């Protein structure tokens, strides 16, 4: 036994399994996470809040929360550690989920969430246009940090977005919006007054709710261009008219600043004001100079001079913010204006700033999208499935243990085989729970195998590095466990035990030396590894989405088996039959 603990392979195995077990220790946290709040924001709740208590009782489950809010008309809450009072019926429209006890991330099928189907409003959308829509949506997801979202095309004209553990508000208010950006300066003029756009002066006359601009008649909603500036006639009365001039559009956004000092937020008037700069194209800056050149200056507050008209920022034709323009900017080319906004809480301010920045950085969708259908997946089904998997795992492990004992009549052989097979599942879950541990496992196990001379030949090196590249790409993103991945975990025990039985039979042969038996066993292990990596990587790259989790789990299991567990088992068997 002392010789075994001097073996580098076995020590590496023990260290990695120990760390993985520590990472997987559940750390239950009382409270529920608010994942969806309707626009009315009942009780002042918002997404991301943690409900600690209901009616002075610590809350631990969604079922308990549903039961407690039905006991009275008014509910006493403790949210983020602060007391709140709320009408019980208002809480029926929010969505909550239990706080995760581990760092493992589960897919929507297991954790619950929202599945939304979007359809372009335009008909006969081409394949290239659909790909452009999906690319824009994925860009927004990455910029906004929505890691748990999955976007893919369904059929010829449907886009499906899945989001684990949340309601559909983020999709409805963020991804499904076209993201059309426009900055406008409204200019109000009375009958007989003039408007200057660049070097062009326009004379305004109003007669019977018809506007005459340089003797050309215009109705409410008509538009025309002057020196590359689009002007829309709005709010026509018998006395005045508003000319809405477009100075910037999404095409004029060159760069969006997202870091300090060009982006940030600060407390103001009991809430938070956010700001960020955008870099505008030269053409857009020239339009701004042309429109502001003829605007009058007014004094507001104590000595603050501004232009008579604000700069209104619109996203999807909805006013996002209205900015005062300093009087000294009149007629000047401004290439880096700042966009500001205000929200009552820090979380809402950060979220709104990120939303606007993401939309501006990703660009507008080529067409508008409408919500075709929203499905809410309950986490209850996922819990039942997980319980069934755990039960199946225990039963199958027990059956395999009995069969191995019956076949070999050796407890000292059967127990290590089962424990090592189960430890592969532990190591897989450990890599899913912690990205740093996953990287350490991949690197350390590969280095140990190289030191021990297990990686032989250019084919073994090529497949090993290819598998490492795939796994590094996946674990850095901290992949989510889905139903196929969990099914793959169940299959791990069978695959692992199968190869260990072959290893045992090889070492039990009377003919041949230990070195020869070890090389034969490693050749068998490596053959299985290379074959499965080739097959499963095809599933990943061919875009078979429903089987991607199974492919990832299988490649990871074979990597761990080839570089960690089976070499450790081989060391154990070698010591057993040598001594």
Contact 552, 490 (CB under 8 A): no
Whether pLDDT at 414 is above 60? yes
Is the per-residue pLDDT at 366 higher than 80?
no
**Tokens coding 350:** 């950060």
Q: What is the mean pLDDT of the segment spanning 114-123? A: 79
CATH number of 32-98: 2.30.42.10
CB atoms closer than 10 angstroms to residue 460: 17
- CA 271-273-278 angle, 5° bins: 165
pLDDT score of 244: 92
Residues paired with residue 240 on neighbouring β-strands, in sequence order: 190
Contact 211, 224 (CB under 8 A): no
Tokens of residue 381, six digits: 């089904």
CA distance 237 to 531: 78
Quote the tokens at residue 258. Answer: 């997202």
pLDDT at 444: 92
Highest mean pLDDT among 168-182, 433-447, 527-541: 433-447
DSSP of 25-53, one letter per residue? S-----SEEEEE--TT-GGG--TT-EEEE
Q: What is the pLDDT of residue 18?
A: 94
- The 3-state secondary structure of 352-401 reads HHHHHHHHHHHCCCCCCEEEEEEEEECHHHHHHHHHHHHHHHHHHHHHHH
Tell me the mean pLDDT in the region 418-434: 86
> Average pLDDT in the 46-64 region?
80
- pLDDT greater than 60 at residue 268: yes
Query: Hey, which CATH number is domain 4-25+379-578, 3.30.70, 1.20.1640, 1.10.10, 3.40.50?
Result: 1.20.1640
* Contact indicator for 486, 429 with CB cutoff of 8 Å: no
Cα gap 43→51, rounded to integer Å: 12
Per-residue pLDDT of 3-48, as tens digits, reads 666 778 889 999 999 999 998 888 877 888 877 676 566 677 776 7
Residue 404: which of 419, 415, 392, 414 has the closest Cα? 414
Q: Are 294 and 196 in contact (CB under 8 A)?
A: yes
Greatest mean pLDDT among 168-177, 254-263, 357-366, 376-385: 254-263
Selected residue with higher pLDDT from 420 and 508: 420
What's residue 19's pLDDT?
94
The CA distance from 313 to 292, in Å, is 16
Q: Do domains 4-25+379-578 and 32-98 have the same CATH topology?
A: no
CATH of the structural domain 113-178+368-377, one choice from 3.30.470.20, 3.30.300.30, 3.30.160.20, 3.30.70.3400: 3.30.70.3400
The predicted structure's pLDDT at residue 267: 86
**Which of the residue ranges 23-32, 195-204, 268-277, 509-518 would you say has the lowest mean pLDDT?**
509-518
Q: Where are the beta strands (DSSP E) in 252-362?
A: 253-256, 263-268, 271-280, 297-300, 304-307, 311-315, 318-323, 338-343
Query: What is 89-145 written as a DSSP string?
Result: GGGGG-EEEEPPSSS--B-HHHH-EEEEEEEESSSS--HHHHHHHHHHHHHHHHHHT
Mean local confidence (pLDDT), 124-153 = 71
Q: What is the mean pLDDT of residues 559-567?
A: 88
**Mean of the pLDDT values across residues 529-550?**
73
Q: Would you say residue 144 has pLDDT above 60?
A: no
Q: In what order do the strands lie in the sheet with 210-213?
A: 194-197, 200-207, 210-213, 216-218
Across residues 253-275, what is the average pLDDT?
83
Among 146-160, 268-282, 496-510, 516-530, the minimum mean pLDDT is found in 146-160
Pairing mode, strands 181-190 and 240-249? antiparallel
Find the mean pLDDT for residues 218-224: 87
Average pLDDT of the segment spanning 371-399: 73
Question: What pLDDT is attached to residue 364?
Answer: 58
pLDDT computed for residue 302 by the predictor: 61
Please determine, for residue 403, whether its predicted confidence score (pLDDT) is greater than 60: yes
Please check the confidence at residue 311 and state whether its pLDDT lies above 80.
Answer: yes
Arithmetic mean of pLDDT over the chain = 79
Q: What is the pTM of this model?
A: 0.61
> CB of 162 within 8 A of CB of 114?
yes
pLDDT higher than threshold 60 for residue 143: no
pLDDT band at 165 (very low <50, low <70, confident <90, very high): low
| Section 167-191 average pLDDT | 71
Considering only CA atoms, give the Rg of the chain. 32
In this structure, of 174-178, 389-393, 428-432, 492-496, the range with the lowest mean pLDDT score is: 174-178
* pLDDT of the residue at 178: 57
422 pLDDT higher than 80: yes
Mean pLDDT (whole number) for 352-372: 72
CB contact set of 480 (below 8 Å; sequence gap of 6+): 105, 106, 107, 148, 164
List the domain boundaries for the chain: 4-25+379-578, 32-98, 113-178+368-377
Q: How far apart are the first and last CA of the chain?
A: 10
Contact 284, 181 (CB under 8 A): no
Taking residues 510-515, report their average pLDDT: 71
Is the pLDDT at 447 greater than 70, yes or no?
Answer: yes
pLDDT at position 133 is 78
273 pLDDT above the threshold of 80: yes
The mean-pLDDT minimum among 5-9, 168-172, 220-224, 514-518 falls in 168-172
CA dist 441 and 17 (Å) reads 10
């Amino acid at each position: 036994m002392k010789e075994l603990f001097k073996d580098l392979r076995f020590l590496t195995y023990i260290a990695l399994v120990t760390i993985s077990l520590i990472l997987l220790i559940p750390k239950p946290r009382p409270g529920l996470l608010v994942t969806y709040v309707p626009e009315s924001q009942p009780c002042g709740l918002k997404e991301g809040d943690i409900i600690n208590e209901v009616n002075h009782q610590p809350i631990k489950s969604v079922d308990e929360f549903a039961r407690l809010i039905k006991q009275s008309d008014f509910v006493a809450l403790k949210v983020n550690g602060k007391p709140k009072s709320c009408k019980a019926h208002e809480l029926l429209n929010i969505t909550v989920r239990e706080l995760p006890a581990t760092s493992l991330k589960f897919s929507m099928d297991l954790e619950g969430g929202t599945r939304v189907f979007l359809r372009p409003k335009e008909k006969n959308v081409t394949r290239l246009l659909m790909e452009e829509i999906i690319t824009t949506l994925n860009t927004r997801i990455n910029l906004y940090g929505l890691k748990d979202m999955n976007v893919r095309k369904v059929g010829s004209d449907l886009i499906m977005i899945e989001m684990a553990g949340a309601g559909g508000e983020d999709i409805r208010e963020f991804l499904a919006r076209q993201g059309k950006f426009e900055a406008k300066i409204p200019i109000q003029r009375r009958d007989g007054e003039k408007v200057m756009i660049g070097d062009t002066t326009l004379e305004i006359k109003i007669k019977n709710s018809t506007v005459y601009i340089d003797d050309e008649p215009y109705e409410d909603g008509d538009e025309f261009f002057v020196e590359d500036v689009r002007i829309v006639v709005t709010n026509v009365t018998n006395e005045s008219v508003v000319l809405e001039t477009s100075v910037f559009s999404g095409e004029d956004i060159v760069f969006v600043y997202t870091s300090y000092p060009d982006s940030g937020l600060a407390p103001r008037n009991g809430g938070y004001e956010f700001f960020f700069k955008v870099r505008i194209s030269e053409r857009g800056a020239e339009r701004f100079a042309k429109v502001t050149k003829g605007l009058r200056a007014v004094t507001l507050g104590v000595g603050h001079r501004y232009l008579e008209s604000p700069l209104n920022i619109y996203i999807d034709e909805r006013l996002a913010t209205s900015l005062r323009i300093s009087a000294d900017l009149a007629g000047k080319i401004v290439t880096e204006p700042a966009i500001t906004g205000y929200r009552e809480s820090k979380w809402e301010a950060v979220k709104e700033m990120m939303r606007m920045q993401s939309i501006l950085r990703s660009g507008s969708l080529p067409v508008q999208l409408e919500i075709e259908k929203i499905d809410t997946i309950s986490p209850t089904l996922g819990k039942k499935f997980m319980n069934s998997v755990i039960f199946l795992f225990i039963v199958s492990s027990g059956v395999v243990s009995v069969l191995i004992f019956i076949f070999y009549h050796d407890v000292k052989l059967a127990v290590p085989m089962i424990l090592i097979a189960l430890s592969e599942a532990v190591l897989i879950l450990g890599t899913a729970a912690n990205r740093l541990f996953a990287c350490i496992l991949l690197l350390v196990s590969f280095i140990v195998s190289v030191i021990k001379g297990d990686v032989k030949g250019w084919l073994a090196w090529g497949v090993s590095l290819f598998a490492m590249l795939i796994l590094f790409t996946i674990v850095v993103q901290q992949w989510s466990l889905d139903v196929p991945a969990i099914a793959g975990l169940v299959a791990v025990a069978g695959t692992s035990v199968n190869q260990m039985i072959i290893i045992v039979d090889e070492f039990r042969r009377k003919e041949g030396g230990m070195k020869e038996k070890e090389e034969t066993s490693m050749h068998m292990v490596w053959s299985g590894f290379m074959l499965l990596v080739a097959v499963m990587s095809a599933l990943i790259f061919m875009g078979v989405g429903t089987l991607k989790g199974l492919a990832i789990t299988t490649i990871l299991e074979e990597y761990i088996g080839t570089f960690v567990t089976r070499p450790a088992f081989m060391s154990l068997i070698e010591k057993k039959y040598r001594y």
